[in-house]
Structure 1
Amino acid sequence: MLKMFQYNWQVRDEWFHWCEKVSSEELLRKRVGGVGNILQTLFHIADVEWSWIRTIQGKPDFQEDFKSHMSLELVRKLSDSFHTEVEEFLQTWTNDRDGILVTDPWGREFTQGEILRHTIAHEIHHIGQLSVWSRELGLAPVSPNFINRGIR
């Protein structure tokens, strides 16, 4: 699991670098699909990842407000701050926890493994949306390749 999260983190970081080439207006422009715009999608990816990890840990979740993070710098800073807690958790996670049941804040039950795999797939899904929007802007998207990333 950790290797797939490491992959997502590398790709997310590359998207943050990609965003440096795009104006704030384009990053915040309303898009078809996703959660609204490029920057809000990156915010959403980080927030959802962190929220699910906190759910597994039995910690309370709180909703960060995108309106308080409407710049590339602020979204990147928030993602980095969440990353620390998520990585610390994943460093201690073992496969024997895969089937442990967790109840989310809405009363639904999932296994820890389901939640982690969902979180991985969730980010990959949104990265695909970012790739489409990148091409709409006439820019090359970040490579989604797992190979040659040094994750072994």
Structure 2
Amino acid sequence: MLKEQYDFILSSRNTLLNYIKGISEQDFLTNNSSFGRGSIRNLLVHIGQTYCAWIGERALGIEQKFLPFEKYQTLKDCQSYFDQVDEYIGLFIEKFKGIELQEIEIHRNGEILTVNPLQLFTHVITHEFHHKGQIMSLSRHLGYIPVDADIIR
């Protein structure tokens, strides 16, 4: 079921990324302190970093090197980062297939958390949608008309 759900996420994300192609490079990088991470680029990178931290590092045990936002200058750079995210999600779904509700221990900031794979998956996808909303709002402030990137549209 997680694979099917992630397919919905990918459809929504692709709608967002295609929309962002119509945003100028300058606006893509424009910082606005009212929107958390500041720019559309930063929000996209933050979404990717969150997947990589929770799924890649904590759930799969794959050491991560988190690059500063400035290392991602274009939408294409961000899309490449999402390719890594998609790979991790594929590994995650395979690893936890059939045991999505089984408790596992993960390490976070020196603590051990007990969660289940479904909670981790839900955490990262809802996080993505939260920031997707910020990207849409930020783009509206920059003069663009956001598209509908909901799961059901």
- Using the size of structure 2 for normalisation, the TM-score is 0.83
Native 8 Å contact 1:2 1:91 kept in 2: no
Aligned length: 148
Paired residue for 2:135, among 127, 130, 135? Answer: 130
- Quote the RMSD (CA, aligned, Å): 2.0
Sort the Cα spacing of 1:4 and 1:134 in 2 relative to 1 into closer, same or farther, 3 A: farther
Sort the Cα spacing of 1:57 and 1:81 in 2 relative to 1 into closer, same or farther, 3 A: closer
Corresponding residue for residue 75 of structure 1: 78
What is the rounded CA distance, in whole Å, between the counterparts of 1:134 and 1:68 in structure 2?
21
Sort the Cα spacing of 1:46 and 1:142 in 2 relative to 1 into closer, same or farther, 3 A: farther
Q: How does 1:44-83 map to 2 (within 5 A)?
A: 44-54=46-56, 55-83=58-86
Shift of 1:50: 2.2
Corresponding residue for residue 35 of structure 1: 37
Native 8 Å contact 2:15 2:149 kept in 1: no
Range 1-10 or range 62-71, more displaced: 1-10
- In the alignment, structure 1 residue 89 sits paired with structure 2 residue 92: yes
| Equivalent residue letter for 2:14 | D
Secondary structure of residue in 2 paired with 1:94 = coil
Range 91-100 or range 30-39, more displaced: 91-100
Range 112-121 or range 58-67, more displaced: 58-67
Shift of 1:125: 0.6
Native 8 Å contact 1:8 1:123 kept in 2: no
- In the alignment, structure 1 residue 26 sits paired with structure 2 residue 27: yes
| Equivalent residue letter for 1:109 | L
Sort the Cα spacing of 1:95 and 1:142 in 2 relative to 1 into closer, same or farther, 3 A: farther
Shift of 1:58: 2.4
- Using the size of structure 1 for normalisation, the TM-score is 0.83
Native 8 Å contact 1:130 1:141 kept in 2: no
* Structure 2 gap ranges (5+): none
Corresponding residue for residue 146 of structure 2: 141
* Structure 1 gap ranges (5+): none
> Could you tell me the percent identity over the aligned residues?
21
